[in-house]
């Protein structure tokens, strides 16, 4: 089930390209605008992988600084947003690995992000309940699995794009996806049985 | 699809269209596989609705903190350029130049294998003569006392600092040609 990145209006793309061109020539104000546009998604991506607010912020900030440094080498093959999300995902995985080495365990499992409270209606409440259950199950995956699932489902990237972003072979991405689906499904069924 | 294991593998692969008919037929007669498929569909639905605009916003002050880090990086880069040009004594800068290393290597060869160097130079000259088809020249024979190897060594050692300085000056000149001084993108990232 391959998915494609969500389409964006041409005007938004053109504005991004214009800002990137200015930032490439050393314009920090243009880069600030790019950060403003991408910060929430970048932070959310890091948070989904790391599940630790401080570490996620650090990973996202590092990613932007690295992007600034590497901007002269950015050839524009992909959109800036795609490029920055790749860097964020890699930084988050690197930080997760470093933290795991330091602490000797997976990070952030106990600190699931707070989901916004549901609006009115039973549908919204049911969706909120499902989302909470999913968030709890996501915490049981490894960082690499979370990164793959996040990019594939939440960021709508294809297997090929996920592999490129995380510098993994496509076979490894498929294996992570497959194992993640199995783990999430088993957890989902377990919770259904315990809380029908 | 003959077994529950095969059905589970099909679900793990993301329920691809290939094999869907067989899988559904199997689930029709197997309560646990039907429950697993229902869970997989609910999960896919939850994952599909989890992305989109409802992203967690970055903490307040995120952008200024990023820009402060970039400003600090740029300051450090400018300082590194200034350090290259002014803060170090001339002999440290000269010693760090590739030309100095080359001069040292040449000096070492002169001390270690003077005969080999002379024969290599003669061979190179002979090849050059052959290449341009000019009357063969012979290597100049140095009159006494310059023919003495010790004197030659002394001359070579005396020439080393000049070679180092000339190499360094050439390097700086070529650097100025291709890379104007001052901060900017693309410099030592």
Q: Do A39 and B62 touch (CB under 8 A)?
A: yes
Instruction: Compare all CA atoms of chain A with the CA of B48 and give the residue at the minimum distance.
Output: A153
Q: Looking at residue A140, what DSSP letter applies? A: T
Residue B180 lies in a domain: no
CB B4 within 8 A of CB B32: yes
pLDDT-derived band of residue B125, with 50, 70 and 90 as boundaries? confident
Q: Clarify whether residues B75 and B23 are in a common domain.
A: yes
Sequence-distant contacts of B22-27: CB under 8 A, at least 24 apart: B25/B1, B26/B1, B26/B2
Q: Clarify whether residues B77 and B18 are in a common domain.
A: yes
Q: Do B14 and A177 touch (CB under 8 A)?
A: yes
User: Under DSSP, is residue B105 helix (H, G, I), strand (E, B) or coil?
Assistant: helix
Residue B182 lies in a domain: no
User: Which tens digits make up the pLDDT trace of B10-34?
Assistant: 988 888 888 888 888 888 888 889 9
Residues of B with CB below 8 A from A149's CB? 47
CB B27 within 8 A of CB B37: yes
**Helical H runs in chain A?**
10-24, 28-50, 53-70, 80-103, 122-138, 143-149, 159-166, 170-194
Model confidence at B94: pLDDT above 50: yes
CB A143 within 8 A of CB A100: yes
Model confidence at A108: pLDDT above 70: no
Model confidence at A109: pLDDT above 50: no
Query: What tokens were used for A139?
Result: 């915490």
Model confidence at B121: pLDDT above 90: no
How many angstroms separate the CA atoms of A80 and A97, rounded?
Answer: 26
Of A51, A54, A58, A41, the closest CA to residue A143 belongs to A51
* A1 touches B: beta carbon within 8 Å: yes
Question: In the block, which residue shows the tokens 């570490």?
Answer: A55
Q: Clarify whether residues B21 and B64 are in a common domain.
A: yes
Question: In the block, which residue shows the tokens 């988050």?
Answer: A92
Residues of B with CB below 8 A from A57's CB? 58-59, 62
Residue B19 lies in a domain: yes
Separation in Å, CA of B178 to nearest CA in chain A = 16
Q: Which domains does chain A have, with CATH numbers?
A: 10-109+119-194 (1.10.1740.10)
Dihedral (C-alpha) B22, B25, B31, B34: value to the nearest 10 degrees? 60
User: Which tens digits make up the pLDDT trace of A60-102?
Assistant: 999 999 999 998 888 777 889 889 999 999 999 999 888 877 7
Q: Clarify whether residues B67 and B132 are in a common domain.
A: no
Residue B9 lies in a domain: yes
Task: Give the angle subtended at the CA of A129 by the CAs of A124 and A133, to the nearest 5°.
Answer: 145
Neighbours of A118 (CB within 10 A): 16
* Residue B12 domain boundaries: 4-81
pLDDT-derived band of residue B110, with 50, 70 and 90 as boundaries? confident
User: What is the model's pLDDT at position A171?
Assistant: 95
Query: What tokens were used for A167?
Result: 């510098």
User: What is the model's pLDDT at position B61?
Assistant: 93
Count of structural domains within chain B: 2
Instruction: Compare all CA atoms of chain B with the CA of A137 and give the residue at the minimum distance.
Output: B43
Residues of A with CB below 8 A from B49's CB? 127, 130-131
User: Which tens digits make up the pLDDT trace of B41-85?
Assistant: 888 888 877 654 456 789 999 999 999 999 998 888 777 666 555
* A71 touches B: beta carbon within 8 Å: yes
Residue B177 lies in a domain: no
Write the residue in A41, A47, A72 that is nearest to B186 by C-beta. A72
Dihedral (C-alpha) B69, B75, B77, B82: value to the nearest 10 degrees? -170
Note the pTM of the prediction, 2 decimals: 0.62
Residue B30 lies in a domain: yes
- Specify the length of chain A in residues: 196
Q: Clarify whether residues B92 and B111 are in a common domain.
A: yes
The mean of the pLDDT values for chain A is 83
Model confidence at A111: pLDDT above 60: no
Residue B188 lies in a domain: no
Q: Clarify whether residues B111 and B70 are in a common domain.
A: no
DSSP string, B39-79: HHHHHHHHHHHHSSS-PPPPPTTHHHHHHHHHHHHHHHHHH
pLDDT-derived band of residue A1, with 50, 70 and 90 as boundaries? very low
DSSP string, B106-151: HHHHHHH-HHHHHHHHHHHHHHHHHHHT-PPP-PPPPPTTTTSHHH
Residue B34 lies in a domain: yes
Separation in Å, CA of A102 to nearest CA in chain B = 25
How many angstroms separate the CA atoms of A87 and A71, rounded?
Answer: 12
How many angstroms separate the CA atoms of B34 and A81, rounded?
Answer: 40
How many angstroms separate the CA atoms of B189 and B187, rounded?
Answer: 6
Q: Clarify whether residues B19 and B59 are in a common domain.
A: yes
pLDDT-derived band of residue B145, with 50, 70 and 90 as boundaries? low
The complex's ipTM works out to 0.76
User: What is the model's pLDDT at position A173?
Assistant: 95
Write the residue in B8, B62, B184 that is nearest to A43 by C-beta. B62
- Chain A from 50 to 69: CB within 8 A of any B CB: 53, 57, 60-61, 64-65, 68-69
- What lies within 8 Å, CB to CB, of B86 at 6+ separation is none
How many angstroms separate the CA atoms of B20 and B9, rounded?
Answer: 12
Q: Clarify whether residues B75 and B95 are in a common domain.
A: no
How many angstroms separate the CA atoms of B30 and B62, rounded?
Answer: 52
Q: Do B55 and A155 touch (CB under 8 A)?
A: no
């Amino acid at each position: 089930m391959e998915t494609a990145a969500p389409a964006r209006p041409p005007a938004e793309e053109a504005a991004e390209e214009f800002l990137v061109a200015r930032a490439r020539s050393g314009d920090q104000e243009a880069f600030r605008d790019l950060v403003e546009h991408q910060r929430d998604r970048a932070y959310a991506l890091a948070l989904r992988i790391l599940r630790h607010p401080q570490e996620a912020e650090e990973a996202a900030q590092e990613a932007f600084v690295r992007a600034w440094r590497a901007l002269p080498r950015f050839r524009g093959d992909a959109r800036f947003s795609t490029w920055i999300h790749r860097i964020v995902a890699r930084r988050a995985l690197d930080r997760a690995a470093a933290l795991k080495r330091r602490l000797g365990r997976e990070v952030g499992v106990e600190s699931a992000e707070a989901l916004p409270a549901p609006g009115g209606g039973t549908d919204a409440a049911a969706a909120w309940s499902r989302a909470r259950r999913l968030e709890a199950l996501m915490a049981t995956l490894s960082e690499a699995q979370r990164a793959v699932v996040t990019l594939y489902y939440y960021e709508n990237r294809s297997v090929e794009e996920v592999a490129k972003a995380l510098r993994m072979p496509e076979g490894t991405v498929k294996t992570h996806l497959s194992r993640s689906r199995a783990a999430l499904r088993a957890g989902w069924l377990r919770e259904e049985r315990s809380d029908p | 699809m003959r077994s529950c294991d095969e059905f589970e593998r099909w679900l793990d692969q993301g329920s691809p269209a290939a094999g869907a008919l067989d899988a559904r037929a199997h689930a029709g007669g197997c309560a646990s596989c039907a429950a697993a498929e229902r869970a997989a569909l609910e999960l896919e639905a939850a994952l599909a609705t989890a992305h989109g605009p409802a992203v967690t916003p970055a903490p307040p002050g995120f952008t200024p903190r990023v820009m402060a880090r970039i400003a600090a990086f740029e300051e450090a880069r400018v300082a590194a350029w200034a350090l290259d040009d002014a803060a170090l004594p001339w002999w440290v800068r000269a010693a760090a130049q590739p030309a100095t290393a080359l001069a040292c290597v040449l000096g070492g060869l002169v001390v270690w294998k003077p005969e080999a160097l002379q024969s290599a130079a003669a061979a190179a000259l002979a090849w050059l003569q052959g290449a341009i088809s000019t009357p063969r020249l012979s290597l100049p024979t140095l009159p006494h006392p310059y023919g003495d190897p010790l004197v030659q060594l002394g001359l070579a050692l005396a020439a080393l600092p000049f070679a180092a300085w000339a190499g360094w000056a050439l390097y700086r000149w070529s650097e100025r040609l291709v890379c104007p001084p001052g901060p900017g993108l693309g410099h030592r990232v």
